[in-house]
Chains A and B, each alone.
Chain A
Amino acid sequence: MIITILSVVLIVIGLVFFFGAALGLMRFPDFYCRMHATGKGDTLSSLLVVLGFALYQLRDFHDFSHDWPVLLVILKLLAIVVFIFLTSPTSTSALADGGWEDGIEPIIEPGRANHLKDDCGPAEGHPAEP
C-alpha cells in the first residue's frame, strides 16, 4: 500500500513538471527560453514518472527465486531512467548549439551584453559586432 502511494506521488510530481515543460514550450518568446523549459522539465518529469512506475512494479516482488522476472523489469526501467538522464541533456545541448550556429538571435534586454557571443564565438549567420 505504501509503495503504491509513493509511486502515485512520484508520478503526479512528474506530471506537474511535464505540464510546466509544455507550458514553457508554448508560451516562451525565444528559442533559447523554450530550450531551457523543455530541456530541464522533460528530463526531470520523465525520470520521475518512469521511477514511479518502476517503484510500483516492486509490489509484486516477494522472494527472489520465484519473482526474479519482476527484478529484471525494474532493472530495464532503471536502464530507461539512466538512458534519458544521459541523452536528454546531450541532445538539448547539441540542439542549442545547432540553433546558435544556425543564426538564431536570443532576445536580450536592451543595455545588456550578449554573453553567448563570448562563450560560443561568432557564428556564420549572425551580424558582425557593431
Chain B
Amino acid sequence: MTFEDFAIGVGVTLLLLMIPAIYRIVVGPTAIDRIVAVNVIGTKTAVLLVIIGVVFGRVGMFVDFALAYALLNFTGSIAAARYLHRVSQRGEDAPFGEEGN
C-alpha cells in the first residue's frame, strides 16, 4: 500500500466524518448551530484540499487553495457572529429558532 492509497483513505474518512455535520445542519435546532456545523465542514475541506494535492502530486498548487479556503471560512464565521451580535443589540427578533426574521 503506497502513501497515496493511504491519503485517499484519509480523504474518504474525512468525507464520511462530514455526515454528522450535515445532520447538524439539517436538524438544527438553532441558526447558530448550523453556522458552527458549516464552520466544521469548512475546516475539513481545507484539510481535504491538502490531501487532494498529495494524491495528485501537486501539493504546491493545492496548498494555496487550502490557505484561501481557510481564510474565507474564518471570514464567514466571524461575519455570522457579528451579525448575531448586532441583531440582539438592536433589540429586534434575533434569528433564534427555525427561521431568522
Contact = CB atoms under 8 A, between A and B. Distances in A.
B80 A83 contact: no
A76 interface: yes
A38 B67 CA distance: 20
A18 B14 contact: yes
B66 A31 contact: no
B8 interface: no
A23 B83 CA distance: 28
Interface residues of B, number: 53
Interface residues on A, range: 35 or more
A87 to B, nearest CB: 4
A90 B74 contact: yes
Given A31-B32, A49-B47, A53-B50, A25 B96 contact: no
Contact of B32 (A11, A25, A69, A102): A102
B32 A22 contact: no
Task: Determine the main DSSP class of B at the interface with A.
Answer: helix
Q: Which of B6, B50, B71, B83 has the most C-beta atoms of chain A within 10 angstroms of its own C-beta?
A: B50
Interface string B44-72: 10110011001000011001101100110
Nearest to B77: A91
A21 B18 CA distance: 10
Interface of B: 3, 6-7, 10, 13-14, 17-21, 23-24, 30-33, 35-37, 39-40, 43-44, 46-47, 50-51, 54, 59-60, 63-64, 66-67, 70-71, 74, 77-78, 80-85, 87-89, 91, 94-96
25 contacts: A18-B14, A21-B40, A31-B30, A31-B36, A38-B39, A38-B40, A46-B44, A53-B50, A53-B51, A76-B64, A80-B67, A84-B43, A84-B46, A87-B74, A91-B74, A91-B77, A94-B77, A94-B78, A95-B81, A98-B83, A101-B84, A102-B87, A102-B96, A104-B32, A124-B88
Interface string A1-38: 00010001001000100110111011000010011001
B32 A95 contact: yes
B31 to A, nearest CB: 8
Contacts of B87: 102
> What 3 A-B pairs come out closest when comparing CB atoms?
A98-B84, A26-B20, A94-B81
